Structure 1
Amino acid sequence: MHVQVILCQRRPATAPAITTVTAATPPEPQMPAPTAKPAESAEPAQPSGSAEPSESARPTDPAPPPAPSADVRMWHRFLALHAHVEHRLSTALQRHHGLGLSEYRALGFLAAAPRSELRMQELADRLGLNQSSVTRLVGRLNAAGFTYRDVCPDDKRGVYTVIEDAGRTRHAAATATYEATLTAALEEAAENDSGAGATVAALRSSLG
C-alpha cells in the first residue's frame, strides 16, 4: 500500500516593516560674517627738508605791557639805589666791626633812646622787623655783651632791651665807617646813573 505524503511548504512570515524615525537635527548657529576692517588712514607725508612755516601758522607775539607810570619808574630807581647802598654798608660794617646792618642800627636806636632802653616791640617797629626776627637779633647782641634784657617793674610782661657800655663803644667806632661808606655809595650811584644822581640831589636838598 502506497502512502502518499504531501509536503506542505510553509511560507516565511513577513516581518513587520520597521519605520526608522530620524530626529530633526537643529540647524547650526550661523556665525556673523566678519566685518571689513576700516582702512587705516595713511600717515601724512612728511615734507622733505626744513620748510619754513607759513605766516598764518606762526604764533603772534603777545602785546607789550603798558608803560609804567612816572611814579613807578621813580620808585624802581629808588629801590635800586637803596639796594646798592645797603649792600655796601652791610659789607663794610661786617668786615671792619663784626656787626650786621640791623645790629648797628639797633645799637644806635638804643643809644639815643631815653634811659638807653626800648621795648622789644618798639625796637622791632623802628628796625622794620617782625617780632621773631628782632628777638633773634637782640639775642645776638646780648650774647656779645652789647645789650641786656630787663623787665619793667610796673608790668612784668614788658621786656626791655638796654644798651651796655660795650655796645655804645662798638656803635661809636662803627659810625665813622657807616657814614663814610654811605657817602661813597651814594656818590658812586650818582656817577653811574644820572637818574640816581638826581634822586640823591633831591633828597639832600629836601633836608636843607
Structure 2
Amino acid sequence: MNTVWLTAEEQRVWQAYLHATTLLEDHLDRQLQRDAGMPHIYYGLLVQLSAAPERRLRMTELARHAKITRSRLSHAVARLEKHGWVRREDCPSDKRGQLAVLTDQGQEVLARSAPGHVGAVRQALFARLTPEQQKSLGEIMEIVAEGLQPNEAGADLPWLR
C-alpha cells in the first residue's frame, strides 16, 4: 500500500482543526458543568429527547444520534435518571427495547441551560467569524458530514446492531 502523506498545508489545517475542536468541546463542557451541572454529552442527550416526538426515543436510536455506544448511553441515562431529568420505559412494540423519555423536570433544566449554552457557542464560535466565514464553515461541515454518513442506519456503528 502506498501512503499519500498530508502536505504541509494539509497538516497545518488538520492540526488547527483538531486543536480548535478540542478547545471548543472543552469550553462548552466547562460552561455546562459550571452553569447546569452536566457535561456537554448529557446536554446533547436532553436536546435529542426534547426534539423527539413525545420527548422519547428508543435507546438504540438515541445512541445512534449521539454517536455513542449503548453502554456509554446506559451509564449517561442512569445519571440523568438520578437527577430526575430522564426516565426509561419499556418499548411497547419490542419487549427487548427500552425508551428514554425526557421528564418535565428534564425539559425545565434544558430550558434553563439553553440560553447560557447558546451564549457560549455564540461567543466561542460565531462572534469570531464573519458571515461569509460562517457560511463557508457550514458548507464545509455539511460536505464532511455527508461523506461520513453511513449508507444504512447504524452501518458504521456495529455495536448498535
TM-score, normalising length from structure 1?
Answer: 0.58
Task: Assess if the C-alpha contact under 8 Å between 2:58 and 2:91 holds in 1.
Answer: no
Partner in structure 2 of residue 126 of structure 1: 65
1:199 Cα shift? Answer: 6.2
Q: 1:145 aligns with which of 70, 75, 84?
A: 84
CA deviations on 1:12-69 (whole Å, 9 max, x unpaired) are xxxxxxxxxxxxxxxxxxxxxxxxxxxxxxxxxxxxxxxxxxxxxxxxxxxxxx6636
Contact 1:78-1:199 within 8 A present in 2 as well: no
Shift of residue 76, structure 1, vs aligned partner: 2.8
Residue 33 of structure 2 is matched in structure 1 by: 94
Map of 1:31-180 to 2, 5 A cutoff? 68=7, 70-180=9-119
Measured on the aligned residues, the alpha-carbon RMSD in Å equals 2.8
Residue among 143, 168, 186 paired with 2:125: 186
Q: How many residues matched?
A: 137
Q: Which amino acid aligns with 2:59?
A: M
TM-score (norm: length of structure 2): 0.74
Q: Secondary structure at the match of 1:87?
A: helix
Q: Which string of whole-angstrom CA distances, capped at 9 and with x for unpartnered residues, describes residues 135-173 of structure 1?
A: 100000111100100111221111110000000010111
Note the C-alpha offset of 1:80: 1.6
Alignment identity in percent? 30
Q: Contact 2:89–2:100 (CA<8 Å) still a contact in 1?
A: yes
Q: Which whole-Å CA distance do the structure 1 matches of 2:15 and 2:134 have between them?
A: 14
1:157/1:81 CA distance change after superposition, 3 Å? same
Question: Aligned partner of 1:185: which letter?
Answer: A
Q: Residues of 2 paired with 1:127 and 1:87: CA distance?
A: 17
